Amino acid sequence: MLDGLAVAIRRDRQESVIREVSQTIVKIITDAVVPASLHRAITEQMALTRNTPLKKDVYRFVRWLRQYAIPHERFVGYDEELEPPQKPDLLKPPGSKDLGVRRIPRGDAKPLAPAPNASAIGAPNNGCLKCESTSHRVRECPGVTP
């Protein structure tokens, strides 16, 4: 696309147009970038002060764009952010239940109390887990046969 533009401008001997309106051409090219992720990345890069010379020179910008797009494609990819299709909001009659909607608990609901043996679960010095004796551990349990 850009090569065709350059050929058409040279064919019509309008090279001065590139020098005169280069900022406008750079803006048009930036807005024409198709993948949303690459467009967003280029817009962020062009906002940096170190890239202001690119805005004034179309050829330099195109060279930079080609170099910037290759690693972006390789490492970020051009996967478009596909938004999940929104479900139409159908008017529901009063009293109907939404089966797929997660309910938020009310403030007056009782909080879940921890289990009474919660402190005993997972404690390292509780003793034998097999016979529940505190005098020995599982490896020394007489009920375990090797």
Q: Whole-angstrom Cα distance, residue 18 to residue 28?
A: 13
Per the CB < 8 A criterion, the answer to whether 45 and 38 are in contact is: no
Return the domain boundaries, the chain. Answer: 2-76
CA distances, 142 to each of 10, 27, 130, 138 (Å): 95, 82, 10, 9
Among 47, 15, 17, 18, which residue's Cα sits nearest to residue 30?
A: 47
Lowest-confidence segment of 2-11, 32-41, 126-135 by average pLDDT: 2-11
pLDDT tens track for 82-136: 555 565 555 666 666 655 555 565 655 555 655 555 455 555 567 888 888 888 8
pTM of the model: 0.47
Among 51, 49, 60, 48, which residue's Cα sits nearest to residue 19?
A: 60
Write down the pLDDT at residue 75.
82
Q: Whole-angstrom Cα distance, residue 29 to residue 21?
A: 13
pLDDT tens track for 37-72: 889 999 999 999 998 999 898 889 999 999 998 888
